[in-house]
Amino acid sequence: MTVVPLPAPSPAWLALLRAAVERDTIQAVADRIGLSRSTLSLLLAGKYPARSLDNVEQKVRDALDHWRCPHLEIDLPGYRCVAWRTRPMPRSSARELRHWRACQTCPHNPTAKED
């Protein structure tokens, strides 16, 4: 019996990139991110030769990882949303406390608890 190893799970930013390319052309996504089409092709094929993908990951996240905040009613980058919902409960500002409470039940929060 041959055991075939399972592929490693894709990082979240790579899933964002794949989803964007499925919705649009690879050239349009490359232009939006500020990378070349060939770089995206190599990334999606798992053949990108760089040792570190930190710079590429940051560019992808900055360009693609945004969603509408239901509380603020503005588009936020994903990292700001995560920072708001994972921080300790604010105790010095009523406005920040309302925002933090809204984050705890937000549909974008994977650990959201229903009221």
Instruction: Write out pLDDT tens, residues 46-84.
Output: 898 888 888 898 899 888 888 889 999 998 888 888 888
Give the chain's mean pLDDT.
86
Distance of alpha carbon 39 from alpha carbon 35, whole angstroms:
7
pLDDT at 6: 46
The arithmetic mean of pLDDT across residues 80-101, rounded, is: 91
| 94, pLDDT greater than 90 | yes
The arithmetic mean of pLDDT across residues 7-12, rounded, is: 66
- pTM of the predicted model, to two decimals? 0.61
Structural contact between residues 102 and 70, judged by C-beta atoms closer than 8 angstroms: yes
Domain ranges of the chain: 12-64, 66-104
Hey, which bits of the chain come out as E strands? 66-69, 74-77
Query: Can you say how many angstroms the Cα of residue 61 is from the centroid of all Cα atoms in its chain?
Result: 5
